[in-house]
Amino acid sequence: MDRVALSGLKARGHHGVFPKEREEGQTFIVDLVLGLDTRPAAADDDLAKTVHYGIVAEEVVAVVEGEPVNLIETLAERIAQACLKHEGVQEVEVRVHKPDAPITVPFDDVTVTITRSRV
């Protein structure tokens, strides 16, 4: 399986369990690895035979900016399902970063990574 990766997609969302997170929002960063067969697209040099990663990026940002959820695990699942709606995508790895998580000790990042596939 081939891979198409998108790294560092940024969007502001209002996800979290605390009222301040829901009210003020924060930046979330998403990394994706889409698993698909790119050979048909490469053979014909045809965008229609692969995944349009620009459209995927816009859809992922819309999910992050959309309906709030409590957990980034839930957000990651919603993103994965949006990616799998694209016909050629057989598998997706989603990593959601929450660099401004409300943690009381110094830290660099909090992430959740999930892998989903068509089964």
Give the tens place of pLDDT for each residue, 29-45. Answer: 999 999 999 999 999 99
Question: Measured on CA atoms in the order 35, 99, 69, 57, is the torsion positive or negative?
Answer: negative
The pLDDT assigned to 81 comes to 98
Distance, in Å, from the CA atom of 99 to the CA atom of 72, rounded to the nearest integer, reads: 12
The pLDDT assigned to 119 comes to 74
98 in catalytic set:
yes
Domain segments of the chain as ranges: 2-117
> Which of the following is catalytic: 10, 20, 85, 98?
98
Percentage with pLDDT > 90 across the chain: 98
What CATH code is assigned to 2-117? Answer: 3.30.1130.10
The pLDDT assigned to 112 comes to 98
